[in-house]
């Protein structure tokens, strides 16, 4: 069984809806253990084959809970090289966070990142939720066939 971790933050529920859709897509693939959570220990990141981060943009930045998980993992020396990483998130006007997360996953942790990131203006509509489902499914299929 391969492991796919969806780590997200969401203060008003918009990124959470995206994260749930990503999880739904990933769960449609057999042989993948999907974990959806807003906090993960370094060990859980180390055990995952793919990490998808749901990051809403606040003050042109990634929010603290997400930064905290990434910082703890970095400090613990967690090795994520070669694992699959992706990012998505809701925003209001600038929406930098998913790209900032992807940059960290790629350049700090050496992950294989999936592009493009998905950014949704405020609440995701059905089409955007479908994009999120497709992202989850695509990443899950990728790690199952590795």
Ligand X SMILES: Cc1cc2nc3c(=O)[nH]c(=O)nc-3n(C[C@H](O)[C@H](O)[C@H](O)COP(=O)(O)O)c2cc1C
Residues forming contacts to ligand X in the complex (CB under 6 A) are 10-15, 56-60, 90-95, 122
Residue closest to ligand X when measured from CB atoms: 92
Give the shortest CB-65-to-ligand X separation in angstroms: 11
Give the shortest CB-17-to-ligand X separation in angstroms: 8
Phi-psi map region of 127: left, alpha, beta (phi>0 left; psi -120 to 50 alpha): alpha
Give the shortest CB-54-to-ligand X separation in angstroms: 7
Nearer to ligand X by Cβ, of 91 and 109: the residue is: 91
Query: How far apart, in Å, are the Cα atoms of 119 and each of 48, 83, 88, 115, 126?
Result: 24, 22, 6, 12, 14
Rounded to an integer, what distance in angstroms lies between the CA atom of residue 20 and that of residue 86?
15
Helix, strand or coil, per DSSP, at residue 13: coil
Nearer to ligand X by Cβ, of 9 and 49: the residue is: 9
Give the shortest CB-16-to-ligand X separation in angstroms: 6
Nearer to ligand X by Cβ, of 70 and 80: the residue is: 70
Nearer to ligand X by Cβ, of 10 and 113: the residue is: 10
């Amino acid at each position: 069984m391969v492991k796919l971790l969806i780590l997200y933050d969401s203060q008003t529920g918009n990124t959470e809806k995206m994260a749930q859709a990503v999880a739904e897509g990933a769960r449609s693939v057999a042989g993948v253990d999907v974990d959806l959570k807003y906090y993960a220990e370094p060990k859980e990141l180390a055990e995952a084959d793919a990490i998808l981060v749901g990051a809403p943009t606040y003050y042109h930045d990634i929010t603290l809970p997400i930064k905290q998980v990434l910082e703890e993992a970095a400090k613990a020396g967690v090795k994520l090289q070669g694992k699959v990483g992706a990012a998505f998130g809701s925003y209001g006007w600038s929406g930098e966070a998913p790209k900032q997360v992807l940059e960290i996953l790629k350049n700090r942790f050496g992950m294989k990142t999936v592009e493009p990131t998905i950014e949704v203006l405020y609440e995701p509509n059905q089409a955007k939720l479908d994009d999120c489902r497709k992202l989850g499914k695509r990443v899950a299929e990728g790690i199952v066939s590795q």
